[in-house]
Structures are given as C-alpha cells and as structure tokens.
Structure 1
Amino acid sequence: MLIREATAGDWPRIWPFWHRIVAAAETYAWDPDTSEEDARALWMGPAKCVYVAEDDTGAVVGSAYVTPNYGGPAARVANAGFMVDPDRSGLGIGRALAEHVLRAATAAGYRAMVFNAVVETNPAVGLWTSLGFRILGTVPEAYEHPRHGPVGLHIMYRAL
C-alpha cells in the first residue's frame, strides 16, 4: 500500500467513501447531508495536509488529514481525520494511515494530537488507544447514533 500526499485530483476518488461514511451518521459528527462542495472544503481545506492510501491497483482506499487543532500559541496541537473505504475495512489501512499521520505530525513539529469528538461506539477507539491515545473525557449522550441512540463523544489525546 502506498500512502502519499493527496492532490486536488484525488477528491473524486475520496468523495464516494467520504459521503458513504458521513451519510451513515455512525462515526463522524458532520451533517449527513453535507454537499460534495462543503465536504471537499471540510476535508481538503488549505490548512490541512491530506494523504491518501492506494492499494496495489492504484485505487484510493483511504484518506487522512492533519491540521492544527487550535490557533495561536496552541497551534502545536494537531487534529486529524481518517476515513477508510468501508468495503476495505479490517485490512490495516486505518492503522497504516494513523501511523503515517502521527509520523508526519511529529516531523511537522506538533507536540500532541487531539481528537475532539470520537463517537464512543466507533470501532476506531480501539485503534486509537492501541496507538497511545487516551480518553480525557466523554461528553455523555452528545451524539444521536442511528442504531444505538444517544451515545457519548470522547475527547482523546496523545503526546507526540
């Protein structure tokens, strides 16, 4: 698998799984009805360093970004987002993207990474904890999950 910086031309290959994941409303606190234009701005914004994972056929099977979580004197704390094509889950793509982004964030001079709103039922919570993230707190019943009803949102942290 190749992980590389995304180009503007990668968006049409990211959008199908981005839309599928956000529309499912199970893991991201973004509006399930987000338009493609707004989705592109959210994912590919100018403050973000975006990556794609390609399989050996050249298909984009996942994407991630890293960006400052805060501004000004706190700009050395990163935030990141990750999406893997649901048809490719369980193949280690998410872990590979996460390890890549953690290395990139460290190389860019970030001191820590924070996830602001991790849905507590998201299977990725196990991945994040295995990579050294810890749950700083949980906002109870902050997320209306389509299958589980109201669930918490974790705030997760890891020093870099």
Structure 2
Amino acid sequence: MTINMRDYHTNDAASVAALISPVFRAGDTYAVDADMTDAQALAYWTGGEKRVFVAEDDGQLLGTYYVVRNFKGGGSHVCNCGYITGDQARGKGLARLMLAHSLETAKSLGFRAMQYNSVIATNTRAIDIWTRAGFDVIGRLPEAFLHPVQGYVDALVMYRKL
C-alpha cells in the first residue's frame, strides 16, 4: 500500500459515509446512535469545527480521521480525534499511519495534547496502538458503554502530551 493522507473534500462524501456508517451501525466502538442515516453519520463526522482527513491508496479511500479541539476556552489547547479504518485495510498498519499523521497535524495546529474521551475497553486493538504511541489511560468510566454483544463495558479516557 502507498497511502496518501489528504484533507477531506465534499466529493469524498459517499466514500467516507461508506466507511463510517457500518462502524456506527455495529455499535461497538463509538457512542453514537447506531440507527443514523448515512447523511447523519457524515454530518456527525465532518461537522462543526472538525478538520477531516482521508487515507487513500490509488484513489480508493481506506480510512478517515478527524481532529477537533476537545474543549473550548481554557481547554482549547487539547484536541480530540476519531479514526475509522475500512475493512479492506484492517491489520495493515493504516491506523498507526493515521495516528502518526494526526499527531503531527495536531502539533501543527497548535494543540499541546490529545485526549480520547471514551475509548471502549473492548476496543483492544485501538488501545494497544494508542498505548504504544505514548497515550496513558488516565481514567476509567465503569460500565459507561452498552456494547451490543458484551453488555455494559468500561470506557477509558486516554491522554498524551504533544
């Protein structure tokens, strides 16, 4: 794979919706309504102050992430990100590439830290990737997420200074 990371453009909308909607519908990694339409999912992913990127290989979108300030005012120096890797690219290092790109992007945007507010404890692949990249678990929210298969599971707060 030769991955090109670039800014999201509105002509990517259908491809990004095709990546994110199945993940949201699965209901096991993001605390969003699982019954969102593609348009609602896309509006959530690309809306507000989010800066959205796509990862493509030979014109095919394989993943996407966003970066956004986590809080306003005095917390504006901490960002938050969301990542989704398409099925065809899982296990091939794309999540690590998007993470590395997001860390550099966050620094270039002036953020001093990155925080994930609700990492579902059953999402062990993501937790492993982020831990290896220097993120610490700074909080655990007991049974904060209703997993569609495993029932109530913990959510983690993860943090890293940039």
Once residues 47 and 148 of structure 2 are traced to their aligned partners in structure 1, the CA distance between those partners, rounded to angstroms, is 28
Counterpart of 1:27 in structure 2 is 29
Once the two structures are TM-superposed, the CA of residue 87 in structure 1 deviates from its matched residue by 2.7
Task: Give the fraction of aligned pairs with identical amino acids, expressed as a percent.
Answer: 36
Once the two structures are TM-superposed, the CA of residue 108 in structure 1 deviates from its matched residue by 0.7
Output one character per residue of 1:31-77: Cα deviation in whole Å (capped at 9) or x when no partner: 1111222212211114111100001x210000001000000121111
Contact 1:138 1:152 survives alignment (8 Å): yes
Within 5 Å, give how 1:98-109 maps onto structure 2: 98-109=99-110
Counterpart of 1:154 in structure 2 is 156
| TM norm structure 1 | 0.96
4+ residue runs over 6 A deviation = none
Contact 1:21 1:86 survives alignment (8 Å): no
| TM norm structure 2 | 0.95
Counterpart of 1:94 in structure 2 is 95
Could you tell me which amino acid in structure 2 is paired with residue 43 of structure 1? W
Gaps of 5+ in 2: none
Contact 2:16 2:42 survives alignment (8 Å): no
Counterpart of 1:17 in structure 2 is 19
SS in 2 for 1:105: helix
Once residues 145 and 87 of structure 1 are traced to their aligned partners in structure 2, the CA distance between those partners, rounded to angstroms, is 24
Within 5 Å, give how 1:8-87 maps onto structure 2: 8-55=10-57, 57-87=58-88
Corresponding residue pairs, total: 159
Once the two structures are TM-superposed, the CA of residue 126 in structure 1 deviates from its matched residue by 0.4
Once residues 141 and 87 of structure 1 are traced to their aligned partners in structure 2, the CA distance between those partners, rounded to angstroms, is 31
